Amino acid sequence: MMRSRLLLSALGLALALAAIQARATLRIVEQAVETSTLSVSLPDSNVGSMAVKSCPSCKPMLLRLTPRTQFLVGRAPVPYAEFVALARGASDRGLGVFYHGKERTITRLIISDARRTAPRRR
């Protein structure tokens, strides 16, 4: 009998803790847009602005690059010059644009890993 009361008390405490955690508000830290390298025009320097559309019929958003913006190819960080050269290349690549919504500043630009090559057909 004492054991079942202890188990019920523990269960009640666990449910109360779960309810407290459920009330926690979520805060959006950054937003993202999936686009392609041919759909955007990157500025010549790593501090400038670029227009990004979240869909073909959507209005473009003007987002700013800052000195803290990171440039990645896959998971590997690269210098801005290398990033731009790859983005402006002949082929279209997936581009992820991560930004702070209120500030409209870009935190990261990520080109899908272009270093991987497609498997060869035999």
Coil, helix or strand at residue 108: strand
Contacts of 1 (CB under 8 A, 6+ apart): none
pLDDT at 14: 77
Model confidence at 52: pLDDT above 60: yes
pLDDT tens across 86-110, in order?
998 878 899 999 999 889 999 999 9
Q: Taking CA 49 as the corner, what is the angle to CA 44 and CA 54, rounded to the nearest 5 degrees? A: 115
Q: 67 pLDDT band (50/70/90 cuts)?
A: very high
Q: 64 pLDDT band (50/70/90 cuts)?
A: very high
- Mean pLDDT along residues 48-62: 91
- Mean pLDDT along residues 36-60: 90
- For the beta carbon of residue 74, count every other beta carbon within 10 angstroms: 13
Q: What is the pTM of this model?
A: 0.71
Amino acid at 66: T
